[in-house]
Amino acid sequence: MSGILGRRRGKGEAAVDLTKGPIGKGILMFAIPLFLGQLLQQFYNMADAWVVGNFADNNAFAAVSSAGNLIFLITGFFNGIAVGGGVVISRYYGAKDQDKVTKAIHTNLLMGVIASVLATLLGLLLIPWLLVLMNTPDSVLPQSLLYFRIYFGGVATVIMYNICMSVMRALGDSLHPLYYLILSSLTNVVLDLLFVAGFHWGVGGAAVATVFSQGMSAVLCLIRMCRAKDGTKLELKKLHLYPGIMKEVLSQGLPTGLQGSLISIGNIVVQSNINSFGAYAMSGQGAYAKVEGFAFLPITCMSMALPTFISQNLGAKEYKRAKQGAVFGIGFGVLLAELIGVVIYFIAPWAIGVFVKEPEAIAFGLTHAHITVLFYCLLAFSHCAAGVLRGCGKSVVPMITMFIFWCGVRICYVTAAIRFFPVYQTIAWAYPLTWGLSTLVLLVFLLRSDWTHGMEYREKRA
């Protein structure tokens, strides 16, 4: 390793060089802090849902628990850009290119500022129209509007945290974002209880608590990055949109961002059909979604670790190691997902009941769980395979695949099938059906293509 990036980091720096050492151990050691961090992220959502579900009415819980798809429709696009930036930084870091690492970091941060402004405007302008389009019940609509207006008024905190977190992970540091999330998660719980249970602010209090706590994480990440003592230090005077770097970030991040937003469109159509079954269906499915988000975290984090591992090793020209890491990550994710699915199948009544107490709502959530959880292995394969492809710069492939199946096919299926079979089970089956189709396509692509861009071949010829 040469230059500033060649120096060994001091104690406490928490950087991980994923181009050396045992493959499985390296991926897992990098993924564990990601898991704990994502666990705390879910804790944010779960705390909001639990406090609102226990200290407010069912309509308030329906407003909070059904908010995820609309939020991800907008923030998912910008978070995808952050993922693309992380892939670019990882590759240059693996290649020991100090100048490009510095430029990529500062380009990503400035793009995050611009994205924050755009997300705020889009959220405040589009959400009222989308809520009506989704057939949100009149009893839930006012509280949904209040929650979204507060959330998107402070959405910059969410986007800037994700940008900072992506940069730090790309450099191999998955520990410090975790430390900051621990503090902000505890703050979120205290504020939820104070604002919702104490002051009786309802969904507005939950939104304020989330924005304030997420902002704390973003500020702590920025302070950490400004205090770095090597070529990865963030300096305000270096913030600049370097055209070449920006082009690379967008080429990697746009497909991921579009994928997230397009999938959300499909889920919004599905959610509108769920809403047509009433507030109990909304809260029941929302409660199950909280359980699924928590249960699926280990696989989500494996899919998040794989792009960094693959990208660093391709940058270091460790092609065989990159392929071995892909096999380990996908296999581990699939097996673990199925084990988790079996467990959730049996504990679903209790788990859903943590968030909602009405038997009607629990029945809807339980129906959704029993149809989907045993197919978690398919969802895991799609996520992990997409992580591998993003790491090697082929993010367009999972974008197109998931757009076709998780958006197009899902919308067509639900729209057509619900007319012939107007029961909730019809909607729930949309998920395992589309997971299976995307898994089949991604499996064929990985087996039949040179997903390392032919880098190994060109290197041997050179």
Tokens for 86?
């992380």
Q: Is the pLDDT of residue 202 over 50?
A: yes
User: Is 14 within the bounds of a domain?
Assistant: no
Residue ranges making up the domain that contains 431: 22-452
Tokens for 242?
């370097």
User: Is 115 within the bounds of a domain?
Assistant: yes
- What pLDDT sits at residue 44? 63
User: Is 427 within the bounds of a domain?
Assistant: yes
**Mean pLDDT across 345-373:** 89
Distance CA 304, CA 391 (A): 10
Task: Please return the burial class of 91, using the count of CB atoms within 10 Å of its CB with bins 0-12, 13-18 and 19+.
Answer: buried
- What pLDDT sits at residue 41? 67
User: Is 312 within the bounds of a domain?
Assistant: yes
Distance CA 383, CA 400 (A): 14
DSSP string covering 50-84: HHHHHHS-HHHHHHHHT-HHHHHHHHHHHHHHHHH
Dihedral class, residue 3 (left if φ above 0, else alpha if ψ from -120 to 50, else beta): left
**Total domains in the fold of the chain:** 1
User: Is 166 within the bounds of a domain?
Assistant: yes
- What pLDDT sits at residue 56? 72
394 three-class SS: coil
User: Is 119 within the bounds of a domain?
Assistant: yes
Q: Is the pLDDT of residue 5 over 80?
A: no
Question: Of all residues in the chain, what percent are helix, strand and coil, respectively (each to 5)?
Answer: 80, 0, 20
User: Is 360 within the bounds of a domain?
Assistant: yes
Identify the residue with better confidence: 376 or 453.
376
- What pLDDT sits at residue 135? 75
Residue 273 to residues 147, 418, 423, 433, Cα–Cα distance (Å): 21, 8, 10, 17
- What pLDDT sits at residue 84? 78
Chain mean position to CA 5: 29
- What pLDDT sits at residue 45? 64
**Interior CA angle at 114 toward 108 and 116, to 5°?**
100
pTM over 0.95: no
Kindly give the residue spans of alpha helices, DSSP state H, lying in 154-296: 155-170, 176-192, 203-226, 243-275, 279-295
Tens-digit pLDDT profile for residues 259-286: 777 777 777 788 888 888 888 888 888 8
Report the candidate in 90, 100, 106 with the shortest Cα–Cα distance to residue 16.
90
- Which residues fall within 8 angstroms of residue 179, CB to CB, at 6 or more apart? 220
Least confident of 78-87, 94-103, 267-276: 78-87
Tens-digit pLDDT profile for residues 143-166: 888 988 998 999 999 889 888 888
Give, as one character, the DSSP assignment of residue 374. Answer: G
User: Is 208 within the bounds of a domain?
Assistant: yes
Distance CA 45, CA 52 (A): 11
**Mean pLDDT across 317-342:** 91
Tens-digit pLDDT profile for residues 26-74: 888 888 877 877 776 666 666 666 777 777 776 776 777 666 667 777 7
**Mean pLDDT across 431-459:** 78
Identify the residue with better confidence: 417 or 272.
417
**Mean pLDDT across 216-225:** 89
Chain mean position to CA 333: 16
Q: Is the pLDDT of residue 128 over 60?
A: yes
Report the candidate in 443, 322, 325 with the shortest Cα–Cα distance to residue 378.
443
Q: Is the pLDDT of residue 10 over 50?
A: no
